[in-house]
Amino acid sequence: MKRIVIVGAGYAGVLTAKHLAKSLKKFKKQDEFEVTIIDKHKFHTMLTELHEVAACRVEEESIKISLDKVFAGRAVNIVTDYVNEIDVEGKVIKGQKSEYPYDYVVVAAGSKPTFFNVKGAVENTFTLWSYEDAIKLREHIQNMFRKAVSELDERKKKELLTFYVVGAGFTGVEMMGELAEYVPVLCDRFEIDPKMVSLIEVDLLERVCTILPNKQSAKVARRLNKMGVNLMLKTDISEVGADYIVYKHNNQEHTVKTNTVIWTAGIESADLSRGLESLPQAGRGRIVTDEYLRSIANPSVYVAGDNIYFTAEGEKAPVPQMVENAEASAKTVAHNLLADALGSGQPQKYAPKFHGVMVCVGGRYGACYLGLPGRFFSLPSPFAMLAKHFVNLLYFLEVLGWNKIFSYLNHEFFQVRNRRSFVGGHLSNRSATFFLVPLRMYLGFYWLREGIIKIQEGWLTGPRLTPFFSGANQFYENILNGPVGAAAADATTAAVDATTAATVAGGSAAGGTVWLNWNIMGLARVILVDGGELAFKLQVGLMDWIMETFVMYSSPVQNTMQFVIVVSEILVGLALLGGLFTTISGVYSIILQFMFITSTGIYFSTWWMLFAGVAMMFGAGRVISLDYYVMPFLKNWWKKIKPVKRWYLYND
């Protein structure tokens, strides 16, 4: 059995392991290989979202993804250990807890902050490169405000409320943007004058986010200024103390008192990668690879993500240390490693096509430069933010499927507070769910009533659909085209009101007002008429054909259809009254209403049932309901089913 060990559970490591497991299953070679991933954490961290936790926009669990969940149902061994050394000659990985021999190793150890030998920077700054960093910084920021509110000395209070971010690249700008957005919230909470707070972004370069074009970079700078950030560019940091920072700006040296310096001034390869001295390195400890992402000195060592030092054909610079490179390299490494190990298949040269960059300045504003080589373009802020979230969702779909997508939407939109989203707080739930209980029970009573009425009208004893539909159709025809002799009167008496006030089948109209009669490309017809009461119908040709060809074709089919409708209304009514399977009941309520809209139409007085069904889909069954007891049990049972775990068809 050949042993493949992946060191690091970052973006590149996780995706490499998933690609390997998927390919081995496809080729039915799982018994011939052992895939292991080693990391010091039991979870994968979303490094690109750390600033959101540090500035308290989302909860800390939003950036953690359990490795057990990621690899559920997959032939991947998860080892929690801290790797001290990789012996590439002896082909063994040495951790704090044990040693792990291998046939192939994938170095995906990622990066760490670099401090450029600035005095005191390592000891006295806050970094933003791990889950622990984000939590530590979040608590520190809040503590500065807690201390400031009790500080009587105005000078010391300002020191506590002075925040420096060193580095105006993507990480620095995103951190400062989140902090600037968070400060008004903290000032309001602790009753502090916002004028007491100072936010300073420092960088040695002459503009922010230099990877963006000048125009986009300038937009980001203007946004930061608008949020109250003081940009100090072309500024050199020489020292950071426990309560001060020393920098040189405009040829003058300044020492400023502060308790918070956040360091985001650059990265270098992790210590593990830098420690592989027998392998050629370049660019702050990155491992030099060939076009197949193997170390040029050892073909059993593959490299993925930030640890790669490789310049693709036609490019002038090595591949960037960014998430898209991690994702693309993982696929190439998995393919080439298996091609080598299996002795079959052609290796693929690494030729990544990067699609641009995006930066968010807080939760409400973003800038991006997207496209393909030679065809890049920028987007307005709302679309840039939308693109950013869409890209994240694509990654989550690959890593943890629906489970993480649902969680992400909750954190970013449905549970966001203080309107810290590019759509504001419009999608966020702000009211207690027990306010929906009366509506749920009323909707349930209404559906139960409809079912009972149908039983009383004989829906379970014989065909009733023919006069039901013909009466409804004649109702609209009388208004649209005028009544035609005795046929109109006969239709009125023949019609049976299938849903009492919910449908218009039993209404009679010798005339009325046509508000809307819109033919949509011959596929559907939207009808809105007033025959004493507003009535609406969506006439769909396909639905009419199904009804005429199949449902109305014979009495047994009609009886079956009637039985399904009656039973559905009663079951939905009882479920909503008891709060059992409320979400499913809400969806089914919408389906029933849509069926009536496309067959007989409905009165406007019962449109509320459609919107009530939508309201039932999210949260209406959380309180004063059977779901309160039943759903936790069912969710725990559901999550244990192997195919469900494997395909992430659940949410937490």
Q: Which residues pair with 375 in a beta bridge?
A: 372
Asked whether residue 221 carries a pLDDT value surpassing 70, the answer given is yes
**121-265 has CATH 3.50.50.100 classification:** yes
Sign of CA dihedral 380, 383, 389, 391: negative
Which tokens hold the place of 358?
Answer: 């995006």
**pLDDT confidence band for 500 (50 / 70 / 90):** very low
Amino acid symbol at 556: P
For domain 2-111+268-350, give the fold.
FAD/NAD(P)-binding domain (3.50.50)
Q: Which residues pair with 538 in a beta bridge?
A: 526
Asked whether residue 483 carries a pLDDT value surpassing 80, the answer given is no
Q: Which of 7-21, 162-176, 279-293, 407-421 has the lowest mean pLDDT?
A: 407-421
Amino acid symbol at 504: V
CB-count exposure of residue 601 (10 Å: 0-12, 13-18, 19+): buried
CB of 448 within 8 A of CB of 442? no
Q: Give the gyration radius of the chain's Cα atoms.
A: 32
Q: Which residues pair with 152 in a beta bridge?
A: none
CB of 452 within 8 A of CB of 473? no
Quick one: pLDDT at residue 484? 52
Q: Which helix (H) or strand (E) holds 565?
A: helix 555-578
Residue range 427-473, pLDDT digits in tens: 887 777 888 999 999 999 999 999 999 999 999 998 888 888 888 88
Quick one: pLDDT at residue 505? 43
- Cα→Cα distances 140→135, 160, 187, 216, 259, Å: 9, 10, 15, 32, 9
Q: Which residues pair with 34 in a beta bridge?
A: 3
The four Cα atoms 550, 555, 557, 560 give a dihedral, to 10 degrees, of 150
Phi then psi for residue 65, to 5 deg, are -125, 115
**pLDDT confidence band for 604 (50 / 70 / 90):** confident
Sign of CA dihedral 20, 318, 298, 305: negative
Asked whether residue 499 carries a pLDDT value surpassing 80, the answer given is no
CB of 225 within 8 A of CB of 231? yes
* Pairing mode, strands 229-232 and 198-202: parallel
Q: What is the mean pLDDT of residues 561-579?
A: 96
Of 258, 614, 187, whose CA–CA distance to 443 is shortest?
614
For CATH 3.50.50.100, list the domain ranges present in the chain.
Answer: 121-265
The conformation of residue 47, written as its DSSP 8-state character, comes to: G
For CATH 3.50.50.60, list the domain ranges present in the chain.
Answer: 2-111+268-350
Of 649, 463, 424, whose CA–CA distance to 555 is shortest?
463
Quick one: pLDDT at residue 481? 83
What gap in Å lies between CA 436 and CA 101, rounded to an integer? Answer: 58
Quick one: pLDDT at residue 300? 97
What 3 state SS string does 461-514 have? CCCCHHHHHHHHHHHHHHHHHCCCHHHHHHHHHHCCCCCHHHCCCCCCCCCCEE
Q: Which of 52-61, 145-154, 550-559 has the lowest mean pLDDT?
A: 550-559
* Pairing mode, strands 375-378 and 513-520: unpaired
